[in-house]
């Protein structure tokens, strides 16, 4: 009997702890995870968002990344936390915003999304319908933006799809200001490519999101 009681108490404590943690985290910190494959510039897009938040919006931000040993084609992920307060734990467990640029990333990460979280996808790279049950159950806000297609057709450069996506993220989340992101892009991309990247950002920001 005593054992069961203790176990119940423990479970209760764990639940309370998790709820409090969720409240604390959702109030103070916004968590973004962007997943795709190596070569898409997933990590650069995280860097641009984090830099915009810290250096130009004067908030706190931490960006981490995870990738395999391959130069291209392996799974790639970046996580960005943005907060008005100091950030201690730098990893994202349950993102408020999940951005996916590969079907593998969609399958791997969608279950971590918070209830009523935001999911942004490139519909040409994923089959969103396979997780429709999850989306309905958890009231996920889904946005589709053909960023790879825009990059290829409008800019003529497939590799700026990540920057088009940064534009979409800026517009939807409102976590970072448009001016700060532009400054951050100029500061982060290779010299001589600023104009093309800014143009990619504008296409993403002005995209008629469905």
Q: Is 67 in the site for other proteins (CB under 8 A)?
A: yes
Radius of gyration of the chain (CA): 18
Is 73 among the residues that bind other proteins (CB under 8 A)? no
Binder of other proteins out of 62, 126, 168, 189 (CB under 8 A): 62
Residue environment code for 152-180, b if the CB has 16+ CB neighbours within 10 A, otherwise e: beebeeebbbbbbbbbbbbbbbebbeeeb
Our CB check for other proteins shows the closer of 88 and 136 to be: 88
Instruction: Please report how close the Cβ of residue 121 comes to other proteins at its closest, in angstroms.
Output: 25
Q: How far apart are CA 101 and CA 40, in angstroms?
A: 8
Does position 90 bind other proteins by CB under 8 A? Answer: yes
Using CB under 8 A, count the residues that bind other proteins: 29
Binding of other proteins at residue 15 (CB under 8 A)? no
Q: Supply angle C-alpha 61, 176, 64, rounded to 5.
A: 30
Neighbour-count burial of 186, counting CB atoms closer than 10 A to its CB (0-12 exposed, 13-18 middle, 19+ buried): middle
Among 13, 111, 115, 195, binds other proteins (CB under 8 A): 13
**In this chain, which of 50, 95, 167, 204 binds other proteins, going by CB under 8 A?**
50
Binding site for other proteins (CB under 8 A): 10, 13-14, 16-18, 20-21, 24, 47, 50-51, 54-55, 60-69, 88-91, 93
């Amino acid at each position: 009997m005593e054992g069961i009681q203790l176990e119940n108490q423990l479970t209760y404590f764990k639940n309370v702890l998790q709820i409090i943690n969720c409240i604390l985290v959702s109030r103070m910190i916004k968590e973004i995870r962007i997943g795709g494959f190596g070569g898409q510039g997933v990590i650069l897009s995280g860097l641009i968002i984090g830099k915009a938040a810290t250096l130009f919006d004067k908030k706190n931000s931490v960006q981490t990344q995870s990738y395999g040993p391959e130069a291209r084609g392996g799974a790639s992920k970046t996580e960005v936390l943005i907060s008005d307060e100091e950030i201690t734990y730098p990893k994202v467990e349950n993102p408020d915003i999940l951005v996916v640029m590969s079907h593998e990333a969609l399958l791997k990460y969608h279950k971590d999304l918070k209830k009523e979280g935001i999911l942004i996808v490139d519909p040409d790279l994923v089959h969103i319908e396979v997780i429709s049950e999850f989306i309905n159950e958890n009231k996920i806000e889904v946005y589709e933006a053909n960023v790879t297609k825009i990059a290829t057709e409008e800019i003529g450069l497939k590799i700026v799809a990540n920057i088009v996506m940064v534009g979409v993220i800026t517009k939807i989340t409102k976590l970072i200001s448009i001016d700060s992101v532009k400054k951050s892009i100029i500061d982060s991309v290779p010299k001589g490519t600023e104009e093309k990247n800014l143009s990619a950002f504008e296409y993403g920001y002005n995209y008629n999101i469905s």
